[in-house]
Amino acid sequence: MKCTRCKIPAVVALPSHHAAFCRDCFLLFARRLVERAIEEHQMFTAEDRILVAISGGKDSLALSWQLKELGYNIAGLHIDLGIPESSPIARQYSERFCATRGIPLHVLDMAAEGLAMCEVKRRARRPICSVCGQTKRYFFNKFAMENGFTVLATGHNLDDETSRLLANIMRWDVEFLSDQGPVMPAQNGFAKKVKPLFRMSEFETANLCFLAGIDYGYAPCPYSSKASFPVYKNLLAELEDRQPGRKIHFYDGFLKRGQGGFTAQGEKDALVQPCQRCGYPTSAGECGVCRLKDLMGVTP
C-alpha cells in the first residue's frame, strides 16, 4: 500500500476517502479536514480566545494539539467529575498533555462543588449520564462566559455527530435536531460552541494521536454502559464498512438539506431565561444544576 499523495509506503488506509497516507501526509490530511471545518462554518479566527473542553481522551487532546499547531489562541478546561475509577486518570492525562504542549489548563473539581458524580449517581432520580452531561455543559459554558472566552470548542468527531443525529432522527426529536450542527452561535447567555473535528472519524482522531505522539488516557467511565449512542455508532460503522463515505454524506446532507426545516420550528428561544438563582440560561425558573445542588444539600 502506497501513500496516495507522495507514493512512499503508507501507514494508514482510509477507505472512506479512497486514500492511504504515510505519516506526514496523514497529518497534513487531518490538518486540512480541521481547517476546512473551521473555515466552511466560520467557527473562529486568530482573534478569538478559544476555550477547549479537555477530557483527557483522544478527541479532546487531538483537537487541542491541532488548534495549537494551527496557531490559535487556546486554553483548556478540564472538569474533574469525581468518579474514583476514571477521573484521576483523565485529569492526569489532561494535565500532563497541557504541561508538555504549553497549553494553559484550568481545572474545575466537581467534588469541591459538592457534585462528585459518584455521589450524584446515588441520589439523582434521572439517568446519571443525563445529569452528568447537563452539569458539564453548565460549567463549561459558565467558565467560558465568566472568563472572556469568545468560543467554546469540543472534540466531538464524525462518529459522535452521526450517531447522535441518527438517534435524534429515530425519535424525531425536533428540539435536538434543530440544535444539532458543528456550530451553535452565542445566544441567550450561551457561549458560541464549535466542533472542529466533526469531519474526522474516531479512527482518524486515534491515528492523529498515534502519529503525532499524543499520549491519551483510556479510562472508561464505569457508568458509560448506560449511554445510548453506542448502538447507533455500531450500526453506522457497519454501514460505513459496506459503503465507505456514508457517514460524512449523511451528516453533510443533514446540514445542507435537513437542518433548516427543524430550525424553522425553533420555538425554543422564546422560552429561555436566566435562572433565578445563578443566572444560567434555562427554560425553567431554576436551572438543573441549582436544583441538583439542592438535592445534594450544597449550600449556596
Helix (H) or strand (E) holding 290, with range, is helix 288-295
Give the HSE-up count for residue 250: Cα atoms under 13 Å, Cβ half-sphere. Answer: 20
User: Cβ(151)–Cβ(184) under 8 Å?
Assistant: no
Q: Which of 224, 228, 265, 283 binds ligand SF4 (CB under 6 A)?
A: 224
**CA-CA-CA-CA torsion sign (53, 56, 59, 63):** positive
CA gap 32, 29 in Å, rounded:
5
> Which of these segments, 27-35, 127-135, 197-205, 251-259, binds ligand SF4 (CB under 6 A)?
127-135
**Least distance between Zn ion and beta carbon 191 (Å):** 16
Choices 82-90, 102-110, 256-264, 275-283; region in contact with Zn ion by CB under 5 A: 275-283
Q: Which three cell numbers stand for residue 213?
A: 505522539
Element (H or E) spanning 193, and its range? strand 192-194
Between 19 and 38, how does the x/- string for binding to Zn ion read (CB under 5 A)?
Answer: ---x--x-------------
* Residue of 26, 223, 251, 254 that binds ligand SF4 (CB under 6 A): 223
If one counts every other C-beta atom within 10 angstroms of the C-beta of residue 209, the result is: 18
Q: Does 89 bind ligand SF4 (CB under 6 A)?
A: no
**Residue 3 touches which of Zn ion, ligand SF4, none (Cβ within 5-8 Å per kind):** Zn ion
Helix (H) or strand (E) holding 77: strand 74-80
Closer residue to ligand SF4 (CB): 118 or 184: 118
Q: How far is residue 78's CA from residue 87's CA, in Å, rounded to a whole number?
A: 10
Q: From residue 47 to residue 86, what is the string marking binding to ligand SF4 with x (rule CB under 6 A)?
A: ----------------------------------x-----
Under rule CB under 6 A, residue 133 binds ligand SF4: yes
Measure the CA–CA gap between 67 and 73, rounded to whole angstroms: 8
Residues in contact with Zn ion by CB under 5 A are 3, 5-6, 22, 25, 275, 277-278, 280, 287, 290
Residues in contact with ligand SF4 by CB under 6 A are 81, 117, 128-129, 132-133, 221, 223-224, 227
